Amino acid sequence: MSALIFEGLGKSYGDVPVVQDVSLAIKEGEFVSLLGPSGCGKTTILRMVAGLVTPSRGRILIGSDDVTALPPNKRGLGLVFQSYALFPHLTVYENVAFGLRRRKVAGAELEKRVKEALAMVRLAAFGERYPRQLSGGQQQRVAIARALAPHPRVLLFDEPLSNLDAQLRDEMQIELKRLQRGLGITTLFVTHDQGEALSMSDRVGVMARGVMQQFATPEDIYHRPATGFVASFIGKPNRLAGSVASRNGAGGTLSLGGGLELPASRITQPEGTKVDVVIRQESIRLHREPKGTGALAGTIALRSFSGARVQYVVKLAEQVELVAEAPSSGPDSELAIGSPVALAIDPASVFAMATDEAAA
């Protein structure tokens, strides 16, 4: 059964469309992320679900109930904001109890629910503290406990990890996923961070210009992008000007200029069409020696160490460069500037997209 359904959902401000005809169904207990750049419409969708923004068209259903016209407090939702929105003058216990009191929950039932919610986020001993006495991760967990205490039908997150440092953000991703799995609660998570979306979600909706570009599993989003925008947005893309040199069934060959050609498994444009060629950095394999036909010869132009990975800028021809990565502990981690290399690129990792498709 679907827990949350969008039917032709849209929002416009005057003549400007912000969300365009989004239809999808989120299953009971599923963790779904809406992913995309700033201004793509993902937060507007979440705010329409929460009842904070009125749709211009379409419907929102929670289970079998049409909630499109219901006020926020009648929808049975839990919402965690980017800023956590904790009351600084209230204790952790009272912050969690606040929404329950508004729902006329009192006495033993109130105490039971607050303690249960704090235990879920491993803050049972922090009830008497104030938000200023907590770390950023602890404050976020209080906000989650407050959202969970009323037993919501659907849990909504509006970029809740963006204010945390990198290490804490990674830890909280695991915490959130563990909590969501344990409770089995349907969750809609909005983020611009692809790492968060891919690592936490059962399915991901990638948006651009208010349009749902693809709604699929993280594996499909990454390995089988449905549009050029998805191919260029997910991963670490190289984007080069090129053209379709030849077609052969579903694939063919792309020209990068300077006499360079590259096979690609999927090409939809006719021969001669100017395209943007997208090649993910992590899909390129560096070799010190030539590796058979199809490998591109180049020279290391720049080297950058970033911990687990080493990033190389490889010059292939005049004004044609690619960025490639190698493990910092691997055999190709010490390539010096000026070293000749061969690049092996899987044709399935090469995407041809319309020249205006990358802009979102």
Tens digits of residue pLDDT in 248-260: 888 899 998 778 8
pLDDT: is 215 or 292 the higher one? 215
Residue 358 has pLDDT above 60, yes or no: no
192 belongs to a structural domain = yes
pLDDT at 35: 97
Q: pTM here?
A: 0.86
Residue ending a domain, among 227, 251, 273, is 227
pLDDT at 212: 97
Residue ending a domain, among 164, 193, 227, is 227
359 belongs to a structural domain = no
On whether both 220 and 242 belong to a single domain, the answer is no
Tens digits of residue pLDDT in 97-119: 999 998 899 999 999 999 999 99
Q: Domain with 178 in it: what CATH number? A: 3.40.50.300
On whether both 251 and 157 belong to a single domain, the answer is no
Q: Domain with 293 in it: what CATH number? A: 2.40.50.140
Tens digits of residue pLDDT in 42-77: 999 999 999 999 999 999 999 999 999 999 989 999
Domain of residue 80 covers 2-227
Residue 292 has pLDDT above 60, yes or no: no
At 217, the pLDDT band (50, 70, 90 cuts) reads very high
On whether both 197 and 317 belong to a single domain, the answer is no
**Which residue type occupies 292?**
G
On whether both 125 and 216 belong to a single domain, the answer is yes
On whether both 247 and 272 belong to a single domain, the answer is yes
